[in-house]
C-alpha cells in the first residue's frame, strides 16, 4: 500500500514514466479476476463481471492499470457489506 501512495505522488507530480500502450481492458480485467477470485471467495465475495465479448481497447500503462484493478478489489474485500462485487464494462 505504501508503494501505491509513493507511485501516486510521483504520477501527480509528473515524476514517473508510464509505458502507455493499447491494451484490451476486458483481458486485463479477466486476468485480475482470475488472480484474486479464490481470495475473494474465501472472504465470502462473488465477482460478477459484465463485460462485452469483443475487446475494449484502452490506451494505458497495462501494469499500472492491473494494479489499479487489484486495489479496487482489495478495497472491496475490506468493506462491511460483503456479497457481490459488480464490474460492469461498457464499450
The model's pTM: 0.69
Q: Report d(CA 62, CA 23) in Å as an integer.
A: 7
3-state secondary structure of 60: strand
**Is it the case that residue 45 has pLDDT exceeding 60?**
yes
**Is it the case that residue 13 has pLDDT exceeding 70?**
yes
Q: Say if CB 48 and CB 85 are below 8 A apart.
A: yes
Return the H-helix or E-strand segment holding 85: strand 84-88
Q: Alpha carbon of 72 to those of 53, 67, 77, 86: distances in Å?
A: 23, 9, 9, 11
Q: How does the average pLDDT of the chain come out, rounded?
A: 79
Task: Name the percent of the chain lying above pLDDT 70.
Answer: 74
What pLDDT does 90 receive?
66
Amino acid at each position: 500500500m505504501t508503494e501505491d501512495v509513493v507511485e501516486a505522488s510521483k504520477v501527480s507530480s509528473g515524476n514517473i514514466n508510464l509505458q502507455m500502450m493499447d491494451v484490451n481492458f476486458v483481458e486485463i480485467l479477466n486476468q485480475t479476476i482470475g488472480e484474486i477470485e479464490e481470495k475473494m471467495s474465501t472472504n465470502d465475495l462473488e465477482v460478477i463481471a459484465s463485460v462485452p465479448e469483443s475487446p475494449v481497447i484502452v490506451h494505458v500503462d497495462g501494469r499500472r492499470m492491473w494494479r489499479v484493478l487489484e486495489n479496487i478489489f482489495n478495497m472491496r474485500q475490506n468493506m462491511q457489506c460483503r456479497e457481490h462485487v459488480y464490474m460492469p464494462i461498457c464499450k
